[in-house]
Structure 1
Amino acid sequence: MSRPKFLPENFTLALIATVVAASELPCRGTAALVVDHLTDLAIALLFFLHGAKLSREAVIAAAGHWRLHSLVLLTTFVLFPLFGLAFKPILSPLATPTLYAGILFLCALPSTVQSSIAFTAIAKGNVPAAICSASASSIIGIFVTPLVAGLVLSNHGEAASGWDAIGQITLQLFVPFVCGQLLQPFIGGWIGRHDGIVGAVDQGSILLIVYSAFSAAVSEGLWHQVPPAALAGLVVADGILLGAALITTGLLGKWLGFNRADRVAIIFCGSKKSLSQGVTMAKVIFASHGAGAVILPLMVFHQIQLMVCAALAQRWGRRAELSAPASAGARSVVMR
């Protein structure tokens, strides 16, 4: 029996189930401490595997495309936060103050790696450049995101000190990543052949963090603080942000003279935000305030970006396939 098209993908269903479980059966006391420690271990393992999986050859091959990478990083860490602040008159009324803080935190996050690369490939874009840009964004975000989040959230009193957060995030994320990179020549091939392991750890760690964060938030009265109208407004707010990012990256890529394949990579790498790094960093940055409500905008944005970018990638991929035979035919005529 085929899967109904209207159903979300499995991981989205798992996220929803996790939020429901945390709402109905939040972990408290000793159980919360156990889940917290398990989450830390899962995060360390996740970034170790990402470090071991990342091919140095692929990164080196595409690293020379500095203009493209600079534009992606500029969009990710400068324009996105500026959008969040500039759109405050529009976004703030749509959500509660805590949700708006979550939107600002979302704006400071690095690009997602897997889906940026996947959508670039589907749309027939520059995949090596996408690998390099998304990976660079992910690594740089370990250090830049806490600082940017500290700046944009300075008036909200939500985030921990940027420098303190960098120290904790470096220990929890960057050190395991570097260890994985050091061992990449020895275990990278095996991990590449067992890609499902990375995916399982990736999704499992996210679900653990979401359960832990929402358990704490529910215990503090999350659903009394976030009415249904605010959730609906959050969907609109996230849609506005994504639309602004897609339009801006597309226009900048065209104005700066990038070819079609490069523009595709710029759009998908520059408009997306990492759920895995976001929930991981939120655990550190908002440790004293509870990260449940703060990561809610990111979870909503994640689903919107997947649906919108999947549709765009498929559409652009079909266009590229249709134009390829025409281009080949034109070249053959010229050669004759």
Structure 2
Amino acid sequence: MKIKIDKFVLSIILVIIIAYFFPQWGGPQSKIPIDTISTVGISLIFFFYGIKLGPEKLKAGIKNWKLHLLVQSTTFFIFPLLVLLFRPFLQNEAQETIWLGFFFLAALPSTVSSSVVMVSMAKGNIPGAIFNASISGIIGIAITPLWMGFFINDAHTDFDFTEIYIKLIAQIVLPVVVGLILQQYLNTFAQKYSSKLTLFDKSIILLIIYKSFSESFIKNIFGSVSILDLFLLFIGALFLFSIVFILTGVIAKKISLNKEDQITAQFCGTKKSLVHGTVFSKIIFGNMGAIGIILLPLMLFHATQILIITVIASSLAKRKIDENL
């Protein structure tokens, strides 16, 4: 039997290799406006989501309370409780710091843009993904510091998140709303060029992956610990992701969610936001000397979730959907 390697998966590997040898293109001093391109690209992706969505589909997605409850429970309760199980086994301060990093990642909200893009690629419930990924960031503002407050005495929760909300509305909400308004005029166009729009989606994902890995290589986070420690952290991140992904899938089937909702539950419920993590770390940990080590599990998990979910999404994209569902 001949094994066919997905071209998009090869593209991801190539992008990571490029990020390793040429990380400066994605760094803060780069003359290439990758952040601007990504921002505009994400907004365009959501704009075309709005065009593809009908008002009735969006309403149906919002009303799917079982899906929403599963995603938010996974994000803010199942994740932290799984990490909390390992706390009794800590033996020294170094292990405490690493555990705190994993617990911090477990308490974070889901990431918005990549969750929705991946769900779209895998042909999942896009309205449900938009709703859950967006509301997750809002819930996280209250829940994440609350979780961390149990283990950090000097946690501070006073912070102005106005800028984050403005970006959320500008990049996600407004493009979707405009797309919905223009849906009746541009829906035929979107359907006609559906394959090209999918290629555009994948291109933006590759750009986000390149940016993420470039920053990791520039900051040399992979050189801050020994190879053995790095490997163990990676295994820990992979184990945590796998357990939550499998558990979410099992629960989704138990509560009779259809295939599209199962995809959305697993993709949104297993994601963790690097953006929120970076912002929250400044609030919660302040000038703590070990903040770099605390952020390391999040960085590894971020890279792991993007790679694995992208491969799964690419595979699911090839399946045939029963139009009668």
Using a 3 Å threshold, how does the CA distance of structure 1 residues 14 and 235 change in structure 2: closer, same or farther?
same
Moved more, 90-99 or 178-187: 90-99
Give, in whole Å, the separation in 2 of the partners of 1:34 and 1:15. 17
- Partners of 2:72 and 2:136 within 8 A in 1: no
| TM-score calculated relative to the size of structure 1 | 0.66
Partner of 2:168: 173
SS at match of 1:54: helix
Using a 3 Å threshold, how does the CA distance of structure 1 residues 47 and 142 change in structure 2: closer, same or farther?
farther
Give the drift of 1:272. 3.1
Partner of 1:197: 200
The letter of the residue matching 2:22 is A
The letter of the residue matching 1:9 is L
Which of 116, 120, 132 aligns to 2:119? It is 116
> What is the aligned-residue identity percentage?
15
Task: Name the one with the larger helix percent.
Answer: 1
Give the drift of 1:146. 4.2
Give the drift of 1:103. 6.5
Partner of 1:334: none
Partner of 2:307: 303
Cα displacement string for residues 184-220 of structure 1 (whole angstroms, at most 9, x for unaligned residues): 13486566734233433343244235424542x23xx
Give, in whole Å, the separation in 1 of the partners of 2:43 and 2:234. 33
Using a 3 Å threshold, how does the CA distance of structure 1 residues 183 and 247 change in structure 2: closer, same or farther?
closer
Give the drift of 1:96. 9.0
Please, which runs of 5 or more residues in structure 1 have no aligned partner?
122-126, 322-336
Note the aligned Cα RMSD (angstroms).
4.5
Partner of 1:101: 101
1:230 aligns with 2:256: no
SS at match of 2:28: helix
Partner of 2:72: 73
- Partners of 2:213 and 2:303 within 8 A in 1: no
Give the drift of 1:227. 1.5
Partner of 1:331: none
| 1:26-41 equivalences in 2 (<5 Å) | 32=28, 38=33, 40-41=35-36
- Partners of 2:20 and 2:217 within 8 A in 1: yes
Cα displacement string for residues 140-183 of structure 1 (whole angstroms, at most 9, x for unaligned residues): 133233444434445787xx966637333223333232331342
Give the drift of 1:10. 1.3
Partner of 2:244: 245
Give, in whole Å, the separation in 2 of the partners of 1:39 and 1:292. 23
Give, in whole Å, the separation in 2 of the partners of 1:20 and 1:186. 43
Give, in whole Å, the separation in 1 of the partners of 2:158 and 2:37. 24
Give the drift of 1:299. 0.3
1:150 aligns with 2:145: yes
The letter of the residue matching 2:110 is P
Give, in whole Å, the separation in 2 of the partners of 1:149 and 1:43. 27
Give, in whole Å, the separation in 1 of the partners of 2:25 and 2:151. 27
Using a 3 Å threshold, how does the CA distance of structure 1 residues 59 and 149 change in structure 2: closer, same or farther?
same
Please, which runs of 5 or more residues in structure 2 have no aligned partner?
none
Partner of 2:133: 138
Using a 3 Å threshold, how does the CA distance of structure 1 residues 39 and 238 change in structure 2: closer, same or farther?
same
The letter of the residue matching 2:126 is I
| TM-score calculated relative to the size of structure 2 | 0.67
- Partners of 1:54 and 1:181 within 8 A in 2: yes
Using a 3 Å threshold, how does the CA distance of structure 1 residues 309 and 208 change in structure 2: closer, same or farther?
closer
Using a 3 Å threshold, how does the CA distance of structure 1 residues 52 and 96 change in structure 2: closer, same or farther?
farther
